[in-house]
Amino acid sequence: MTLIPPAPGPTTTALPAIPASDTADAGTTCRDWYQRHGVAVYNYFRFHVPLVEVAEDLTAETFLKLVVSVDRFDSEKGSARSWILTIARNVLTDWRRRARLRQYVSLGTMHDLVCHAPSPEERLLREEAVGEVLDAVATLPPADRELISLRYGSELDTAEIARTLGISEGNVRTRLWRVLGRLRGVLGP
C-alpha cells in the first residue's frame, strides 16, 4: 500500500508555504513535502508498528505536526527529510508511551509494503523475502532497529541519520556495519 496524497479539490485548502530560507525546497508547500517524503515516513513507521492503520495514523500525525511547526524549520541545521523524520521519531516515541505496546512487528502484518512487482507471484516472493528480513530485524535491540529503519525504511544517508540521532557520522557507519553483520548472522548464508 502506497500513501497517496489527496487530489486537489474544492474542499482542499492551501497549506502554508515553506520559509524562503529553505533553499532546497524554496517555494514549495507542506503538501510537496508530503508527496516527496510521505512514503519514507510511512515505511519508517511500518518497521515499528504492528498495523497498517497505526502507521497511516502516525504518518498523518507527523505531517499535522509539520504543518503546525513549519516556521521552525531551518535548512542550515539539516535537510527537510531529516527534520521530518525527526518529527516522526518523536511521534513514534509519544505513541509508544501512550500505547505501551510491544516494539516488534509480526510477519503477518507486513503484507502492505510498497512493491512494484509486475505479477502477483513476484510480489508474493518479495513479501516472503521482506518478511524474513523483518523477522530478523525484530530480533535486534531497539537502538539497532531504529538505525536500520532510518537507513533502509526511510532511506536516509549517513549524514542525515547522524543529525537525526545526534551522533557522529563515523558512529553511524560503525554501528550500521555492526548491525548488518548481526543481521547476516541471523539470516544465514
pLDDT at 47: 86
CA 161 to chain centre: 12
What confidence tier does 176 reach under pLDDT thresholds 50, 70, 90?
very high
pLDDT at 106: 57
Q: What is the pLDDT of residues 4-23, one digit of tens each?
A: 433 333 333 333 344 444 43
**Domains of the chain by residue range:** 30-187
CATH of 30-187, one of 1.10.8.350, 1.10.10.10, 3.40.50.2300, 3.40.140.10: 1.10.10.10
Q: What is the pLDDT of residues 109-145, one digit of tens each?
A: 555 555 554 577 777 788 888 888 888 888 889 989 8
Q: What phi, psi does 33 have (nearest 5°)?
A: -60, -40
Q: What is the pLDDT of residues 50-95, one digit of tens each?
A: 788 889 999 999 999 988 888 888 888 888 888 899 999 999 999 8
